[in-house]
Structure 1
Amino acid sequence: MTKADILSQENKLYGAIKDRDINVLEKLLHDDLLFVIPSGAVITKEMDLQSYRDGNLMIRNLIPHVEHLNIIDDTAVITLTLELTGNYGGDDFESKFRYIRVWKAFSSGIKVIGGSGMIVNV
Structure 2
Amino acid sequence: MTKEAILELENRLYSAIKECDLQALDELLHQDLLFVSPTGEVITKEIDLKTYRDGLLKVVELLPMIDDLHIIDDTAIVTLTMALKGYYNGQLFEAKYRYIRFWKHTTEGIKVIGGSGTQIAI
Alpha-carbon displacement from aligned partner over 1:42-99 (angstroms, at most 9, x marks no partner): 0100000000000000000000000000000000000000110000111101100000
For structure 1, the 5+ residue unaligned runs are none
Please, what TM-score do these two structures have when normalized by structure 1? 0.98
Partner of 1:69: 69
Amino acid corresponding to residue 57 of structure 1 in structure 2: L
Aligned residues with identical type, % of pairs: 57
Task: Say if 2:63 is the partner of 1:54.
Answer: no
Q: Which runs of 5+ in 2 are unaligned?
A: none
Equivalent residue letter for 2:45: K
Aligned residues: 122
Which amino acid in structure 1 is aligned with residue 120 of structure 2? V
Equivalent residues in 2 for 1:10-29 (5 A)? 10-29=10-29
Q: CA RMSD in A?
A: 0.6
- Match of residue 103 from structure 2: 103
Q: List structure 1 segments (4+ residues) > 2 angstroms apart after TM superposition.
A: none
SS class of match (2:52): helix
Match of 1:33 in 2: 33
The letter of the residue matching 1:36 is V
TM (norm. structure 2) is 0.98
